[in-house]
Amino acid sequence: MKRKTFFEWKVIAQASKEIDFDIMKAMRPVMVGKRKVMENLDDLTMGQMLTLSGCDDSWALFYLVCHELLGMDEQEVNEADAAQVVLFVGWVSKQIDGYNKMLARIHSTKTAEEIRAGVEKLDFGAFGLVDWYAKRMGIVNHDDVMSVPFLRVYQCLKMDVEREEYEKRLAKIYRSNK
């Protein structure tokens, strides 16, 4: 049986309601077209993370992921083996989802006073994360943060939240010892 190009598969998939594929169960392929796939996404930059996190599940996702991470243009993606493209994008989507869940788990406990003051309204989304890191590291231009590895930003955030939690516990101990 002849393998389908991504373009052929896309045409069939768009015309058919029969194709049912859970992209989040995909495994990492070794190659996509003529491009070797990285072992992991440890080198993903903050800019790539934000770009890939912001893409919806439309057909554009396939092209965006292949372009952003493998440098492929639309024609290369269309000519690549459909299974390789779909598996790669599914694998990347699963990794990005995992990174987003890691970020979501990082949160400090809020005191009653912080809640009364409206701390929950201080959610500035992705730009807030970029701005926080820029301030933390003394970076003047927010665009410079986009080239920083995402896992470095994540680890700094995790450390700062853990330090904040420690300082809250310590302050509570000092207050109770008075």
What are the pLDDT digits (tens) for 37-58?
Answer: 999 999 999 999 999 987 776 7
* Helices (H), ranges, the chain: 6-15, 46-53, 60-70, 74-79, 82-105, 112-117, 125-137, 142-145, 150-176
CA–CA separation, 151 and 170 (whole Å): 28
CA–CA separation, 52 and 96 (whole Å): 7
Look at 20-29, 83-92, 150-159 and tell me which has the smallest mean pLDDT: 20-29
Residue written as token pair 């970076």:
139
Per-residue model confidence (pLDDT) at position 114 = 83
For residue 30, count CB atoms less than 10 angstroms from its CB and return exposed for 0-12, middle for 13-18, buried for 19 or more.
exposed
Reported as a single tens digit per residue, the pLDDT across 76-96 is 999 999 999 999 999 998 999
Closest C-alpha to 87, from 129, 30, 143: 30
Tokens encoding 74: 């639309």
Q: Are 26 and 89 in contact (CB under 8 A)?
A: yes
CA–CA separation, 43 and 159 (whole Å): 20
Q: Are 150 and 48 in contact (CB under 8 A)?
A: yes
Q: Decide if pLDDT at 155 tops 60.
A: yes
